[in-house]
């Protein structure tokens, strides 16, 4: 019996027993998609309220509320973007 064959079969047996990653667990992608959809909905709502305020004289209180929500959403998106850029730059600074 060849020693290489025995070692290869043992390595295969050990690798087969190790747990495999489960597919279908795309929680991060779904969370990002939901966050992006929420951001776009908030910005669109603010734009609709601003347009309605200028054209039909909609409630000024609703306009201020919608614009404050839009401002908070944009500030959050900018903060997340800055953190992603910072993490990317940190990865680039890592020694190879």
Question: Tokens standing for 39?
Answer: 């951001």
Q: Which residues contact 73 (CB under 8 A, 6 or more apart)?
A: 38, 39, 42, 43
18-27 pLDDT, tens digit each: 565 555 556 8
Computed over every residue of the chain, the mean pLDDT equals: 81
Domain locations along the chain: 26-93
pTM, to two decimals = 0.61
Distance CA 60, CA 76 (A): 24
pLDDT digits (tens, 9 = 90+) for 60-91: 888 888 889 999 999 999 999 999 999 999 99
* Angle in degrees, 0-180, between the axes of helices 27-55 and 60-93, rounded to the nearest 10: 140
CB proximity list for 42: less than 8 A, separation 6 or greater:
69, 70, 73
């Amino acid at each position: 019996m060849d020693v290489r064959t025995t070692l290869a079969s043992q390595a295969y047996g050990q690798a087969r027993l190790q747990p495999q990653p489960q597919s279908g667990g795309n929680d991060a992608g779904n969370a990002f998609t939901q966050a992006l959809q929420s951001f776009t909905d908030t910005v669109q709502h603010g734009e609709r309220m601003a347009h309605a305020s200028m054209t039909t004289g909609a409630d000024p209180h609703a306009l201020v509320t919608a614009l404050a929500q839009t401002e908070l959403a944009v500030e959050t998106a900018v903060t997340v973007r800055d953190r992603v850029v910072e993490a990317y730059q940190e990865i680039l600074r890592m020694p190879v």
